[in-house]
Structures are given as structure tokens and as C-alpha cells.
């Protein structure tokens, strides 16, 4: 099972890298075409290259789906091999975070028919998988603090969805800032990017609340206190507060648009900090 999990991981990694490449061809090619037609080079090339670029995008999507399937398989095999949810060390958590980002990406892509988001989200997922290759991948038995199958699985699974959603919001926010005046034709319109960012936070924010609540519940059982300002607890609270600030900012005059987008980027920074913070600060979450 462990070997199967490793093979599936490699397949997911390769498929994802190829998917990113195809998406790059698709989007940068479209950008090239825009430059050509704007530069007065004529529209001759559009009918020739347009379909090719489109095909690249389509295969990019197919490969992303494949990568997601392999990653799912890898996590499932690993869970079977380990006998618990694959969420107990940095290797497993990186895979799971990458899985979450891909899952949410695919959901939003099929919901909005929007491939451009791939340019930001796929590198994040790929980065996480690449990071996973640098940390020990052995299955280690659970230390006493983690021996709570239900909470381990739910607490972390919900965290993965939340982080994945925040990755999508981040991608949408970056594209939003690039798109500022709705002049970039190869990018979706501003309003759409704004909406995607918001919808992603609508998924992520309640999930993050649930992560913190489940964490507090677990801490109360295992450590005898629901809150101890442990670095990871604190970072997750900061993350949640930032997205709370975003939700309030979005309806305020003067904070709509670019400033809200900036908050989403800041929020994802906090998300990554929450994810990696325990490595820098130790604290009660230092399992990885």
C-alpha cells in the first residue's frame, strides 16, 4: 500500500507539472495573440493558433483532473497503510493541502469555466508537492497527543478545504490586481474575479471557523485547555480574523476592489504562515 501511494504521488506530480505547462501555453499564447492583434500584426494567426491553444488548455484541464485523481489515490493508499487519516506529519499534510487546492480549483473551474486561475493555483499545488519530496515520507506511528482518530481526521480535513479555498481566493485576487482596468483581454473580467474571490472565502471562512473550533475542542480534551495562544492557534486566529476583515471590507466604500484584493493576498500569506508556522516556532503543534 505504501509503495502504491508513492507511485500515485509521482504520477500526480508529473501530471500536475504537465498540466501547468499546458495551461501556460494556453494563457501566454492567448496573450501573445492579443499583443499581435493589438500591434497591428493582423488577425491571420488567430485562426491558425487559436484552436491549438484551446486544445492545450483542454488537455491542461484533463491532466489536472488526472493529477487530482492520482493524488486522491495516493492519500487513500497511505491512509490504508497507516491506519488513520493521512494528516499526521508535514509530508502528509503537504499532500493534503495540495489536494485541497486542486479540489477547490477544479470546483471553481467547472463552476465558472475559468482556466486562467490555473496559472496561480497549480504552481501553489505543485510547490506543495515539491516540498513534500524534501521531507521524510515514512509512515510514523501516532504520538499520544494525536491519538484521536475522529478529531485528527475531521480537524485536518476541514483545514485542507479552508486552505484550498483561500488559495483560490488568493489566485483570484492576484488576477484581479493585474486586471485592474478590465483592459487585459486574456484575463477574466474584474467583477468575475472579485466574485470568485468572495465565493472562495464563503467556503473558506466558515471552514476555518470550524477548524479553530475543532482544534479548541481537541485541545480541551488533550491538553485541558481550549486555548493557549500556541503559535499555530494564534496564526489560525489571525488568518480567520483577516478573512473576517475582508468580508467587512468588501461592503465598505473605499475598501471595495483593490484593497479587498490586497486583504485576500495578505490572508493567504497568513494561511501559509499558519501552515508552516509550527516549524519556526515549535509550540504544541510541533509534530512535523
Partner 1 sequence: MVETQGSYSAADSGKVLPAVARGGAAAARGGLWEFEVVGRIWRFFTSVRLALVLILILTGAVLVGTLLDQIPPSVLADSSAHAQWLERARTKYGVWTNAFDFLGLFNVFHGLWFRVLIGLLTTNIIVCTLNRWKGIWATVFPPRVRMSDTFFQHARYNATFAAPMTLPAAAERVKRSLRRSRYRVKMEADGESVAIYADRNRFSRFGTFLAHLSLVLILAGTVVGGMWGFSDSEFIVAEGATRDLGLGTNISVGLDHFTDEYWLEGPPKDFRSDIVIYEGGKEVKRGVTRVNSPVSYKGIRFHQSFFGQAAVMRVKDEAGAELFNAAVPLAWETRDGGRPIGSFDLPSQGVTVYVVGPRSGETDPLVPAGEMRVEVYKRSGGALVAAENVSQGTAKQVAGLNLTFARESRFTGLKVVKDPGTNIIWVASALMVVGLIMLFYLPHRRLWALVKRRDDGTAEVRVGMTAQRDMSLEAEFSRLRERVASALRGAKGGRTSAQGDNDV
Q: Which residues bind partner 1 (CB under 8 A)?
A: 112, 140-141, 143-145, 147-148, 188-189, 191-192, 195, 198, 202, 205-206, 209-210, 213, 216-217, 220-226, 229, 231, 234-235, 237-238, 241-242, 244-245, 247-253, 255, 277, 281
Distance CA 275, CA 288 (A): 11
Distance of closest approach, residue 193 Cβ to partner 1, in angstroms: 11
Q: Are the CB atoms for 176 and 193 separated by under 8 Å?
A: yes
Query: Which residue, 23 or 199, is less far from partner 1 as judged by CB?
Result: 199
Distance of closest approach, residue 67 Cβ to partner 1, in angstroms: 27
DSSP assigned state of 189: -
Query: Which residue, 55 or 147, is less far from partner 1 as judged by CB?
Result: 147
Query: Which residue, 119 or 270, is less far from partner 1 as judged by CB?
Result: 270
Distance CA 36, CA 53 (A): 15
Query: Which residue, 186 or 198, is less far from partner 1 as judged by CB?
Result: 198
Distance of closest approach, residue 274 Cβ to partner 1, in angstroms: 10
Q: Are the CB atoms for 264 and 169 separated by under 8 Å?
A: yes
Grid coordinates belonging to 75: 492519500
- Kindly compute the dihedral angle of the four CA atoms of residues 18, 21, 23, 26, in this order, to the nearest 10 degrees: -130
Grid coordinates belonging to 29: 499564447
Q: Where are the beta strands (DSSP E) in the chain?
A: none
Q: Are the CB atoms for 43 and 33 separated by under 8 Å?
A: no
Grid coordinates belonging to 73: 489515490
Distance of closest approach, residue 168 Cβ to partner 1, in angstroms: 15
Distance of closest approach, residue 61 Cβ to partner 1, in angstroms: 18
Grid coordinates belonging to 280: 519556526
Query: Which residue, 95 or 263, is less far from partner 1 as judged by CB?
Result: 263
Amino acid at each position: 500500500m505504501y509503495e502504491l501511494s508513492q507511485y500515485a504521488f509521482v504520477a500526480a506530480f508529473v501530471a500536475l507539472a504537465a498540466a501547468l505547462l499546458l495551461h501556460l501555453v494556453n494563457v501566454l499564447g492567448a496573450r501573445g495573440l492579443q499583443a499581435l492583434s493589438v500591434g497591428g500584426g493582423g488577425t491571420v494567426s488567430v485562426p491558425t493558433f487559436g484552436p491549438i491553444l484551446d486544445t492545450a488548455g483542454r488537455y491542461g484541464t484533463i491532466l489536472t483532473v488526472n493529477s487530482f485523481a492520482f493524488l486522491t489515490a495516493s492519500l487513500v493508499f497511505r491512509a490504508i497503510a497507516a491506519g488513520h487519516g493521512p494528516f499526521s506529519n508535514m509530508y502528509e499534510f503537504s499532500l493534503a493541502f495540495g489536494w485541497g487546492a486542486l479540489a477547490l480549483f477544479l470546483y471553481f473551474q467547472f463552476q465558472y469555466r475559468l482556466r486562467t486561475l490555473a496559472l496561480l493555483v497549480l504552481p501553489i499545488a505543485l510547490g506543495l508537492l515539491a516540498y513534500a519530496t524534501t521531507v521524510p515520507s515514512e509512515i510514523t506511528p501516532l504520538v499520544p497527543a494525536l491519538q484521536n482518530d475522529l478529531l485528527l481526521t475531521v480537524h485536518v480535513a476541514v483545514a485542507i478545504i479552508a486552505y484550498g479555498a483561500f488559495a483560490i481566493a488568493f489566485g483570484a485576487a492576484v488576477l484581479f490586481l493585474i486586471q485592474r482596468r478590465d483592459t487585459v483581454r486574456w484575463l477574466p473580467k474584474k467583477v468575475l474575479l472579485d466574485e470568485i474571490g468572495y465565493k472562495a472565502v464563503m467556503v473558506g471562512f466558515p471552514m476555518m471557523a470550524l477548524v479553530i473550533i475543532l482544534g479548541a475542542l481537541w485541545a480541551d480534551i488533550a491538553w485541558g485547555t481550549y486555548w493557549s495562544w500556541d503559535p499555530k492557534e494564534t496564526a489560525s486566529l489571525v488568518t480567520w480574523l483577516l478573512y473576517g476583515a475582508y468580508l467587512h471590507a468588501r461592503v465598505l466604500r473605499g475598501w471595495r476592489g483593490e484593497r479587498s484584493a490586497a486583504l485576500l493576498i495578505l490572508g493567504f500569506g497568513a494561511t501559509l504562515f499558519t501552515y508552516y508556522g509550527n516549524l519556526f516556532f515549535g509550540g504544541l503543534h510541533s509534530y512535523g
